[in-house]
Amino acid sequence: MIFNSMEFLIFFPIVLLTYFLLPPRIRYLWLLAASYYFYMCWNPEYVLLILFSTTVTYISSLVIEAVKERQNDCHLKKRCMNICIVMNFALNLFILFYFKYFEFVISTINRLIRILGGKVTISCPDIILPVGISFYIFQALGYTIDVYRGEIKAEKNFFRYALFVSFFPQLVAGPIERSKNLLRQVNSPTYFEIENIRKGLLTMAYGLFMKVVVADRLASIIDPVYNNWSVRTGMDLMIATILFAIQIYCDFEGYSQLAIGSAQVLGFHINQNFRTPYLCTSVQEFWKRWHISLTNWFRDYLYIPLGGNRKGRMRKYLNTMIVFLTSGLWHGASWHFVAWGGVNGFYSILQDCTKSVREKVYYFLKIDTEAFLWKVFCGFVSFFFIDISWLLFRSRGIRQSLSILFKIWNDFTLRYFFSDEFYNMFGSTKTFSMTVFSLITVMAIDIFRKKNFNLKEYLLKQQFFFRWFVYLIVIFIIILWGTYGNGYEQTQFIYFQF
């Protein structure tokens, strides 16, 4: 079941109505049952993985807290806690490794054997990757670390904790929630509030617009180019790569908006996962605004424990590269994802290394770094480098991405934009017009958000007829312009594969 499906259109109102009709003290049990059903719609057997991860982290956290409260030797307590959290990580990461990385490791070993001239091939079973496994395991591990550090108390109620791990709006593609935010809300019953309904539904509508009107329409343009990249021109590939940067943003932010909106309708508030990332002026700023929940997770639970920036510049750069390479591997079991993470880590290190030199150049040339045009220029430069890394993300391997980059370099010409070939990519004038309109709309809304102008609040304060006029326009655009796949078969969100 996905948000842009008829099944969810039936599922969500039933969950919502039943939730508010039930007594407050047992509502969380209904949400837990609904969340497990939501996940079981993909593969009922894989719900056992969530249950296993939930049970292991629940018991581990209770044991850690019990050890903390005992009046034993501090050294012994620390040792017992360390053993407990290591076992907890080992069990959870083993599940993640087997289902997500086992095939990757075996294929890499087989490739090395062939390179060395061997003829032995290690067989590997076909493993279906469970949807959202990286998200809920990281969320559960984050909770255990928080208990270990003493930042929160271990949750005693198993079912409340299970709801925290499996809360259906953000279960399969985030945001990766923290226990200090979501678990606290799970422990306090929410109530029906019309303002939450209005804001939540409006947020969901925008998320659906980003997904089916923008992202999926762009996919119908991009996929034919990448699927036949060897016979396409470099300019076709360049446009497809630029559009992919927009596609993956609208696809993932669309999911996040749907998750945030559906949670808000139920009375829960989950964190934003994006803050206008393509309006940034540097790669480092981009990573503070893109997939914020994952970036913060790696910062708090990997970068800082490794030493952060406290142990010298070289150690800082090493820690930065470790985080980016790990992030790349988190996104997918393939070397091109690792390379994607490494490229972005290199960008971040390069920007930090050249900071003092750039500041001297700005001073010497009397460049006002706060000027609007300078920020626009920096924005274009940042997007250029980010988009090169997206080429690694979208391609099927490092070799393919380098071949595509080589074709773009050789075929680049500005005349392409005034030729029929450019417009033929879109298939028709109608598709081209809808694409341009959609991109302008997303850009305009992001500019409003960047300026801290709350367009949603502004709309909700308007007169009844004006509000509903806008609502109906949005609904008609989603219905008439939305792309729903072949035979109205809904398309998956890109980040479901992670």
Residues annotated as catalytic are 331
Q: Is 237 exposed, middle or buried (0-12, 13-18, 19+ CB in 10 A)?
A: buried
Q: Is 410 exposed, middle or buried (0-12, 13-18, 19+ CB in 10 A)?
A: exposed
Cβ pair 341, 326 in contact under 8 A:
yes
CA angle at 441 for the pair 438 and 445, rounded to the nearest 5°: 145
Asked if the peptide bond before residue 24 counts as cis, ω within 30 degrees of 0, the response is: no
First to last CA, the chain: 16
Measured between alpha carbons, how far is 332 from 188 in angstroms, rounded to an integer?
Answer: 36
**What residues contact residue 276 under an 8 Å CB cut-off, 6+ apart?**
289, 446, 447, 449, 450
Measured between alpha carbons, how far is 485 from 212 in angstroms, rounded to an integer?
Answer: 9
Cβ pair 194, 217 in contact under 8 A:
no
Greatest extent of the chain over all pairs of C-alpha atoms, in Å: 78
Distance of CA 148 to the CA centre of its chain: 26
Neighbour count for residue 153 (Cβ, 10 Å): 12
Measured between alpha carbons, how far is 228 from 224 in angstroms, rounded to an integer?
Answer: 6
Measured between alpha carbons, how far is 178 from 176 in angstroms, rounded to an integer?
Answer: 7
Measured between alpha carbons, how far is 328 from 322 in angstroms, rounded to an integer?
Answer: 10
The CB-side HSE value for 393 (13 A sphere, CA atoms) comes to 26
Q: Which ranges of 175-333 does DSSP label H, i.e. alpha helix?
A: 184-186, 194-208, 216-227, 234-265, 283-289, 292-298, 313-331
Neighbour count for residue 51 (Cβ, 10 Å): 14
Task: Identify the H or E element spanning 438.
Answer: helix 429-450
Q: Could you give the 3-state DSSP secondary structure of residue 23?
A: coil
**What residues contact residue 366 under an 8 Å CB cut-off, 6+ apart?**
none
